[in-house]
Structure 1
Amino acid sequence: MKLKIWRNILLLVCLLAIFQKAEAHPYHVSIAEVKYNAKTQSLEIALKIFTDDLEKTLSDLVRKPVLLTSDAAVQKLLETYFQKNFNVALSHNQVEVPRLLGFEKQDDAHWFYLDIPVKASQLVTAKLRNQVLIQTFPDQTNLTNLEINGQKRTLIFKEGEVLKPLL
């Protein structure tokens, strides 16, 4: 009898742990810090994404489990993903894609460091695309804090909001 009670308690604890893990973050959000460096004529980007959300997105894309490691294949997958989902449109047929400089883990998220070449004269017409994770999580919100030529503002990207002007 006591064994049955303890087994039920253990089962309850395990179920609670599973549901708690599933509810680790009931919202889907990324944060990007984007600064224009006039000296190098590029956008310098620090992008924070929940690790489990990005691993799910990448795994869905390649149809096999992906863990964020420094493996060359994972690096290439990340570069390709960011090139399609975080870039700058300079015109209808010209898109500048980011270069992945590196990344680091911080708690349950990763910081990704990118740069995108953009000339000062192109800033006026340039539009940013931040579609990170939106195809996997329709409720995804991507906050993008911009600092360009001393001006600060925040862009918010949600499903259906593809391109937004830098200035």
Structure 2
Amino acid sequence: MKNFLHIIGIFALIVMTSFATADFYSSMTKVDYVEGSKTLKFTTKMNTQHISDAIKINPNTAGFEAEVKKYVNNNFDLFVNGSPKTLTFTGSQVNGQSVWVYFEAGGVSEISTLKIKNTILLGTFPRQINLVNIAYKGSQKTMNFQRGKEVNEVSF
């Protein structure tokens, strides 16, 4: 019985330490269509430490926002009805453990297909998962991205 309890104790310790060292890597992007301005507005939330590790700059430095902008522009592509759209960075803010990034694409009058390539943090963190939730004229769609599935497309 004593050996059994000892083995159970060791097993419990192994299980607890394996969960303690596990880190969760994700980003969440919300996409809203603004009919009046024919604009897709994007809000992306990322972990501050993770994006800081990816761009190799301290989030408290003056150049952080410029590097985040460059990083998002290099790792997020948008195609509306098969045509590439230019993303305009509108700002960012660091709020504790989260970085919020704001960007938009204008001149979007009607959407039949929306294709996104999202490689945010996938090169730095192999288990990274990126979620994109899209709201368009009363319809909701969700996309997920991970290594090996960097491009996704939805139809409306």
Alignment correspondent of 2:72 = 82
Q: C-alpha displacement at 1:69, in angstroms?
A: 4.5
Aligned equivalent of 1:67, options 58, 68, 92? 58
Which range is displaced more, 45-54 or 108-117?
A: 108-117
Alignment correspondent of 1:48 = 45
| 1:46 partner letter | T
| 1:131 partner letter | T
Instruction: Indicate the percent of aligned positions where both proteins have the same amino acid.
Output: 21
What pairs with 1:81-160 in structure 2 (closer than 5 Å)? Answer: 81-90=71-80, 94-121=83-110, 123-160=111-148
User: Runs of 5+ in structure 1 lacking a partner?
Assistant: 1-21, 60-65
CA RMSD of superposed structures (Å) = 2.4
Alignment correspondent of 1:29 = 26
Do the aligned partners of 1:103 and 1:111 also contact (CA within 8 Å) in 2?
yes
| 2:53 partner letter | K
Q: C-alpha displacement at 1:140, in angstroms?
A: 0.3
Q: Larger helix proportion, structure 1 or 2? A: 1
CA separation in 2, counterparts of 1:39 and 1:166? Answer: 22
Provide, for residues 117-161 of structure 1, a one-character-per-residue CA deviation record: whole Å limited to 9, x for no partner: 25233x223311221100111100001111011101211111121
Q: Larger strand proportion, structure 1 or 2? A: 2
TM-score (norm 1): 0.71
TM-score (norm 2): 0.76
